[in-house]
Structure 1
């Protein structure tokens, strides 16, 4: 099979049709005097339009557009503008592809409703969903379908003409070992799959195209989804003792009379940081002014900012590099591993996850989601670093939900917080939860149990099951997903950067992780010591640029 690395950016979405204003003139029959033209005294619209009617730039009301439709249109327009501003991107209008003008000359071929079984590596993409003008998985897929003849030139100007639907929308940088899209394709060519793959980059593979029932929607008929999250075990080490978060965890444990409980929850790692600091000083003992620099280093953990640095930048980097080596050499104890598993079990069942996503309120019924299982594997060693594989099975997930669940469990274990704090976050109190990096997240596969058992059988259709491609999927997953995750973490220390940022976030935002819980946030705000700041999107969300604005479903 031949592949190319050509990745074509998808055209942008078609502009909404604009009804031209029809000029009307009232003539006075039987007279020679015309009525003077009246001046339009209507105030200009707040977005720059004159008139004030809904849905039309000329001020005339579009009678087919209700208030809710108009509000949604305005909100989407604002979100798109904000996304473009964040990315520095330029709007590009959706234009028909080359050859659309000759559609009458093209032989018309029948389209069939199908499910496309695929895998992809999300590195370099702004997510799964078509999101002009940004590079997306669906954009490259649609281009490949057109080039392979699976979509006619007449329908190549708009994916909606092919009724394209994805089973699970993955965020920027998130991978999928198995995902499904449903749409109408021309599949009479027996080599259509090979032709599609030949027009896709190697990091996107189509395994099969399966005929479905005419009304099939892979999103609506998916029973549940399974995701996997990979992370190094050293993220469960406690914060550096001199850091802002660590000092406040200790302070509130003493204040709340929970010092004994706090120390017991950190017992298996209580000596790790003192031993590493001792090894660091010994390792760099021949460096000039090492004692002074170590003192500066400890002070920096208290006052660290993204641009903070010591007098000797090179030596500072040596200290950080040596400590990073010690983190990679860390091996989680059975007691610590059980605490990690206990934390993730708190999510199982039906709960209100409004704090684990965006644009949801506590009373929003759609924030209630059911988690069937949350399992943590035994640790494995990859490139000298110990990793855990976490598997979550749920009916559906909201935007960022999985990454926030991982982030919450991670911080609860690291800070010696009672695991009951996870359950408390399902309540009406609004809190900010840091998103774990997208690097470690991948969609394993969706499940279509009801469709396979009933609808597929009744209509003589093949079941939708990734088990038949397991060998190819496993090979793809190892080469294009696992290896990339391990290599990127080795080079960039993504997880260490994430936890260090939270440890040094000098604000009341994460004080609910202390022994005082939510009361610590209220105390700090009441005393005027620190102001509340929601760091969910602007500060901790360091890798979310370009995600589809307003999209709330991850899958």
Structure 2
């Protein structure tokens, strides 16, 4: 490729010399033109050559963002999203022409994972083809520009690939402070190369307290979780490990849809720590991919069991193809911690062309961002604002960002079968066993529940 470009450059320079020889003082004098010393030099000469393939390279954007106030990651024409902010920055910096879907297809834009409304990310990954032009002309599709300022200084404005630090600096200068990007070296693709995703859920530990804890809000904030409670929570979380049918932990999918089967590698509640005067803990979930609301419903069911509102017998029902009423935890504390590229690093990390995706290089930046824009905001919202923005007719559709208010709604769920097409729960008949209830309602798998959010694709939470 370099040899080919060198030949093209040599040809164009030779052509320039022939043009200069044609415009010699001799020819100008025969035409009655002014003397050579009086002839002004042309300021610019442009020759555009059509249908020349522009050189591009795949670039990874490691993103950190606070999802508060955004309707998820994916672009939306009517709501503010993270990709909407990213699109504005890409256009402003000259890495994207416009926000049309066709333009995104041209640059092969991909995201490694989607996040739901108000969900943050510390290790999101997007990939796209990057190129831009030097000189006076930016982004002239399928063409390059040949120009010169004087007869003695011709040059060809070939596309110049921007450096990683240049992309990082320019993008962060126009992005909001709560959205930051890091740019590693040459990359291949963001989605299919991902091995697994790591999500964290940051929550106040009074969520694990008994449901009959008295003393009001202050008693909840003064609560300190015991080792026994943490052990109980981890025992419940172990029930989610492995491959299961998570049909009851998502929406917008049919009970017989094979994509409802997901593999959970690990899920564990980490030791608590004080954040100011309040105690918080983190639940870390590792899996290959996740569906819409999956993690939030998994944790909502765990909180209900640990608080004594539901029993572990519900696990005999939730992995069945019948719809069961399961609560959904608030999305405020959920964040995408990182996307792991184990197999990608093994295959391409040492080939001399691509570079491995190593999150350890950015641990300090990620820790500062997590503390300033995620943890502090969660604590402020939980303790000070007590926001309760949306309440719908169905308790299953109730959306809260305040943990104390959400805990009160756990008693509104039955943790049992729900009749098709209705948010009202199906109570068991007196003396009827679980097996008998399933046999008496065989039509359950035929029905689906419509999605409550605009995002209904996989790799969402």
* TM-score normalized by the length of structure 2: 0.69
The answer for the alignment partner of 2:323 in structure 1 is 430
Equivalent position SS for 2:211: coil
Equivalent position SS for 1:115: strand
Q: Which among 514, 522, 525 is matched to residue 428 of structure 2?
A: 522
Q: Which among 182, 197, 211 is matched to residue 207 of structure 1?
A: 182
The answer for the alignment partner of 2:11 in structure 1 is none
| 1:134-175, Cα deviation, whole Å (9 max, x unpaired) | 111111112111211222469897323322111010011000
Deviation at 1:193, TM superposition (A): 1.7
The answer for the alignment partner of 1:450 in structure 2 is 343
The answer for the alignment partner of 1:478 in structure 2 is 371
The answer for the alignment partner of 1:510 in structure 2 is 415
Maintained 8 Å contact 2:272/2:282: yes
Q: Which structure shows the bigger proportion of residues in strand conformation?
A: 2
Give the distance between the partners of 2:49 and 2:114, measured in 1 at CA: 35
| 1:472-517, Cα deviation, whole Å (9 max, x unpaired) | 11111111111111111112340011111232x2x7x4357xxxxx
The answer for the alignment partner of 1:57 in structure 2 is none
Give the distance between the partners of 2:368 and 2:229, measured in 1 at CA: 32
| 1:169-209, Cα deviation, whole Å (9 max, x unpaired) | 00110000111011111272332221111110001111114
Q: Which among 174, 188, 192 is matched to residue 220 of structure 1?
A: 192
Aligned length: 347
The answer for the alignment partner of 2:209 in structure 1 is 237
The answer for the alignment partner of 1:78 in structure 2 is none
Deviation at 1:420, TM superposition (A): 4.3
Matched, 1:399 2:305: no
Maintained 8 Å contact 2:247/2:255: yes
The answer for the alignment partner of 2:305 in structure 1 is 412
Equivalent position SS for 1:205: strand
- Alignment RMSD: 3.1
Deviation larger for 358-367 or 199-208: 358-367
Give the distance between the partners of 2:172 and 2:345, measured in 1 at CA: 26
Give the distance between the partners of 1:446 and 1:114, measured in 2 at CA: 16
Matched, 1:159 2:121: no
Maintained 8 Å contact 2:290/2:460: yes
Deviation at 1:386, TM superposition (A): 1.8
Matched, 1:195 2:167: no
Give ranges in structure 1 of 5+ residues lacking alignment. Answer: 1-102, 241-271, 277-322, 513-518, 527-531
Give the distance between the partners of 1:427 and 1:235, measured in 2 at CA: 27
Q: Which among 82, 86, 92 is matched to residue 147 of structure 1?
A: 92
Matched, 1:551 2:457: yes
| 1:435-494, Cα deviation, whole Å (9 max, x unpaired) | 100001000000111111113433620111221111111111111111111111112340
Give the distance between the partners of 1:327 and 1:380, measured in 2 at CA: 16
Maintained 8 Å contact 2:291/2:457: no
Deviation at 1:345, TM superposition (A): 1.1
Q: How does 1:124-523 map to 2 (within 5 A)?
A: 124-152=69-97, 158-186=103-131, 188-190=161-163, 191-212=166-187, 216-240=188-212, 272-273=213-214, 276=215, 323-415=216-308, 417-458=310-351, 460-493=353-386, 494-503=402-411, 505=412, 509-510=414-415, 521-523=427-429
Maintained 8 Å contact 1:151/1:186: no
Give the distance between the partners of 2:428 and 2:351, measured in 1 at CA: 59
Which is greater in Rg?
2
Equivalent position SS for 1:463: coil
Give the distance between the partners of 1:196 and 1:405, measured in 2 at CA: 36
Question: 1:353/1:155 Cα in 2 relative to 1: closer, same or farther (>3 Å)?
Answer: closer
